[in-house]
Amino acid sequence: MSKQKPQQALKVPPRTKQLAPQAAETTAQRYLEAATAPNTRRAYQGAIRHFERWGGRLPATEAEIRAYLLHYAEQLNPRTLALRLTALRHWHRYQGFADPTDAATIRKTLQGISRVHGRPKRQARALRQEHLERMALALAKRAELKAVRDLALLLVGFFGAFRRSELVAIQMGDLSWEPEGVVIQLPRSKTDPHGEGISKALPYGEGPLCPVTALRRWLEQAALTQGPVFRKVNRWGELADSALQAASVSLILRGIAELAGLEGQMDLSAHSLRRGLATGAHLAGASFAAIKRQGGWRHDGTVWGYIEEAERFRDNAASALLAKRREEKEKKG
């Protein structure tokens, strides 16, 4: 009769070290904050401060929220009011209070304000390629360090369809030089909150609109080997160690437009670069997938919106009718 082997004791994994209550709360708060994009969090914080300056108290009541909406119904864009309500909703839910913004009367009041006072959403104009070329030529004539930086910023931003936050976040280590151009690997972007990374390839071009040549010239003249790519340059032409602020990109673009004699002809912002790439690439024959990939857009609807904008005059019923009319006149005479 065979002997039974003695039963082995189960191995219990060692108990993980518990964080002290205060440290655990700090860690939990950090992760809660990381769940919301920094720009969104700042917008929510500003909305809460605005409500409190008006006289609102937190936690708020349904009556207070309604009075707040009525007070600003004719002063603020309904989309701004909707953002304020979203911020108040998040505050109440995360603090464990009942959400007064969820009341039917609040939702209907906001709908009514939108119907009465709604206005078109203001959008940045797409930067057209002929304007881009004028701006690039104006910068190429200047030798100072700031102009060299601005040319690289303009062309990399346009052909890479970068968001302003992405542009100023580019580091020297993100650049990979290839025979065909340069690949910029972003470790994180607005549509990549989990840090999986997104890459954009910029090919060599011809003449003054080559983003790779402009970028190389900037890096060489600024003698950059590490750290941020696009940095501040003061009025004396001195290079800073710190990166540009995202908000300064639109100001730089408007300054370039003024230099090129385009001031007043367009309402430029940093988003004009992304819109310009999307509309221009479509008209040049780029595929939907290629446009979406270059811009890093997450939603198809956004890209289709830019394509429709590009087609406003080309695929236009009125244009077809007018062209037919011209053709008939030419035949008659």
3 CB burial (10 A radius; 0-12, 13-18, 19+)? exposed
Which pTM value belongs to this model? 0.70
Does 190 fall in a domain?
yes
Cα–Cα nearest to 202, from 158, 140, 243:
158
Does 19 fall in a domain?
no
Percent composition of the chain: helix, strand, coil (DSSP 3-state, to 5): 55, 10, 35
Identify the CATH number of the domain in which residue 40 sits: 1.10.150.130
Judged by average pLDDT, the poorest of 43-47, 120-124, 321-325 is: 120-124
Whether 192 shows a pLDDT value over 60: the answer reads no
Average pLDDT for residues 7-33, to the nearest whole number? 60
Distance from C-alpha of 125 to C-alpha of 232, rounded to nearest angstrom: 26
As a whole-number percent, the residues of the chain with pLDDT over 90 amount to: 52
Token pair in block for residue 7: 């039963």
Whether 1 shows a pLDDT value over 50: the answer reads no
Of the three residues 91, 117, 143, the one that is the final residue of a domain is 117
DSSP string, 142-170: --SHHHHHHHHHHHHHHHTT--HHHHHH-
Contact 261, 130 (CB under 8 A): no
Distance from C-alpha of 250 to C-alpha of 229, rounded to nearest angstrom: 17
Of the three residues 88, 117, 146, the one that is the final residue of a domain is 117
Give the model's pLDDT for residue 42. 85
Q: Does 273 share its domain with 145?
A: yes
Whether 273 shows a pLDDT value over 50: the answer reads yes
Pairing relationship of beta strands 175-178 and 181-186 according to DSSP bridges:
antiparallel
Confidence class for position 269, pLDDT limits 50, 70, 90: confident
DSSP 3-state of 94: helix
Q: Does 133 share its domain with 186?
A: yes
What is the identity of the amino acid at 40? T
Q: Does 230 share its domain with 270?
A: yes
Counting the structural domains of the chain, the total is: 2
Whether 32 shows a pLDDT value over 80: the answer reads no
Q: Does 105 share its domain with 162?
A: no
Q: Does 146 share its domain with 288?
A: yes
Domain that holds residue 292: 129-310
Does 122 fall in a domain?
no
DSSP 3-state of 313: coil
